[in-house]
Amino acid sequence: MLYREAGDFKTSYRDDGQTFPIRLDRVAYYAVVIVAFMIVPFVINDYWANAVVVPFLIYAIAALGLNILTGYAGQVSLGTGGFMAVGAYAVYKLMTTFPEINIVIHILLAGGITAIVGMLFGLPSLRIKGFYLAVATLAAQFFLVWLFNKVPWFYNYSASGQITAPTRTVFGLAVTGPSTSAAAKYLICLVFVFILAWVARNLTRGTLGRKWMAIRDMDIAAEIIGVNPLTAKLSAFAVSSFFVGVSGALLFSVYLGAAEVGEAFGINKSFLVLFMIIIGGLGSIFGSFAGAAFMVLMPVVLKNLLVGQFGWATDLAAHFELMIVGALIVFFLIAEPHGLARLWALTKEKLRLWPFPH
């Protein structure tokens, strides 16, 4: 009864164009933000932060980035893992070379560096399209991982070939390194997610986003009506890689603490993030979050269920997990190819008519 726009009169263009036109949506949005910033940091514990919440937030950034590239601009990329590695190694080099500068600036710079690398690998997209491009982005994935493995400068000549995040603070609170509290990890990720999601939302509904969508729907037609494919595609690659780079930087510095490139940023990461946006919904900000939540939560739930409840051996449970993940992905694609975002939209549509559906 509450969920409808009747009686909610818009008296200015500004009101008319707002992100959440329905009052209940707005209220829910502010409520989520308040709970996330004011309540969760005080109740979160190590298990929840490390197993669920922090990876969810970090992958949500990566999913937002890939969704900008694939969902909005229509360029399929399988190089996400490689670009996350760029972010991680960039932030590592910056942290160790300029220890006196704040880590937030380092993370943003790492995103910027990744954006440049992303644009470089995005250049072929002007010639290559569709699946050929998807496979071409694999070149980025494998080349970058090889590069970080083989050139010792990137990992500061450490004997193990690993990179380890030193302790850094924001406002006197440790956010990286072994002594970081769960709340600090959570808060720094949350701040990045909040700002980047806001940026993504507003970019995609502005001029740039419309150009991307025109290119996605049909690039030749878009070119004819005056969208420059060079700037549109490269800006999509740049913005997307910035997001992915920030996500990789956070994943390494805040969440993992230490990383080995082949293991942490392999091809499986690329597929994981791609699954997130497909299951969540291509071309949807909400979908990026929903997909990230789903893909982060599902293995945790399955593991608890199979190992905790049924008492199976861990290797058997791991194989079963693979099967179930695979089957669920296929099931989701058959049941709703447009992802959780579409399901959510349908639910809202129903809610607006409730309780008089006819």
Partner 1 sequence: MDQLIFAAEVFMNGLMTGVMYALVALGFVLIFKASGVFNYAQGVLALFAALTLVGIQQGQVPFAHLINSIFGTHLEYFGWTVPVVLAILLAGAVMVLLAFLIEKLVLQHLVGQEPIILFMATIGLAYFLEGLGDVMWGADIKNLDVGLPQGISESIESVSANWFGYGFFIDRLDIWAAIIAALLVTALVAFAQYTKQGRAMRAVADDHQAALSVGISLRFIWVMVWSIAGFVALVAGIMWGTKSGVQFSLSLIALKALPVLMLGGFTSIPGAIAGGLIIGVGEKMFEFFVGPMIGGATENWFAYVLALLFLVFRPQGLFGERIIERV
Please say whether the beta carbons of 241 and 118 come within 8 A. Answer: yes
CB of 150 to partner 1, least distance (A): 4
In whole angstroms, the minimum distance from the beta carbon of 137 to partner 1 comes to: 9
The single residue listed with the structure tokens 């919440």 is 53
**How near is the Cβ of 270 to partner 1 at its closest, in Å?**
11
CB of 314 to partner 1, least distance (A): 11
Q: Which is nearer to partner 1, 248 or 281 (CB)?
A: 281
Beta carbon nearer to partner 1, 325 or 343: 325
For the bound state, the minimum distance from the C-beta of residue 72 to partner 1, rounded and expressed in Å, comes to 14
d(CA 277, CA 295): 10
Contact 64, 202 (CB under 8 A): no
The percent of the chain in helix, strand and coil, each rounded to the nearest 5, is 75, 0, 25
Contacts of 238 (CB under 8 A, 6+ apart): 115, 116, 118, 119, 122
Which CB, 144 or 165, lies closer to partner 1? 144
Question: From the CB of 222, what's the least distance to partner 1, in Å?
Answer: 10
C-alpha 30/C-alpha 19 separation (Å) is 12
- Measured between alpha carbons, how far is 185 from 182 in angstroms, rounded to an integer? 5
Which parts of this chain interact with partner 1 (CB under 8 A)?
76, 124, 127-132, 134-136, 138-139, 142-143, 145-146, 149-151, 218, 220-221, 224, 267, 271, 274-275, 278, 312-313, 315-316, 319-330, 333-334, 337
Give the residue among 188, 147, 192, 145 at the shortest CA–CA distance from 165: 188
Is the Cβ of residue 159 or residue 224 nearer to partner 1 in the bound state?
224
Q: Which of 202, 304 has the CB closer to partner 1?
A: 304
User: Shortest approach of partner 1 to residue 85 CB, angstroms?
Assistant: 13
Q: Which is nearer to partner 1, 159 or 323 (CB)?
A: 323
Phi, psi (rounded to 5 degrees) for 173? -110, 125
Closest distance to partner 1 from the beta carbon of 111 (Å): 24
Quick one: 231 or 268, whose CB is closer to partner 1? Answer: 268
Residue 69 and residue 230: Cα distance in Å, rounded? 14
Nearest 5 degrees, angle CA 173-CA 176-CA 177?
Answer: 110
CA count, 13 A, side-chain hemisphere, 312: 15
CA distance 266 to 85: 9
> Closer to partner 1 at the Cβ: 248 or 266?
266
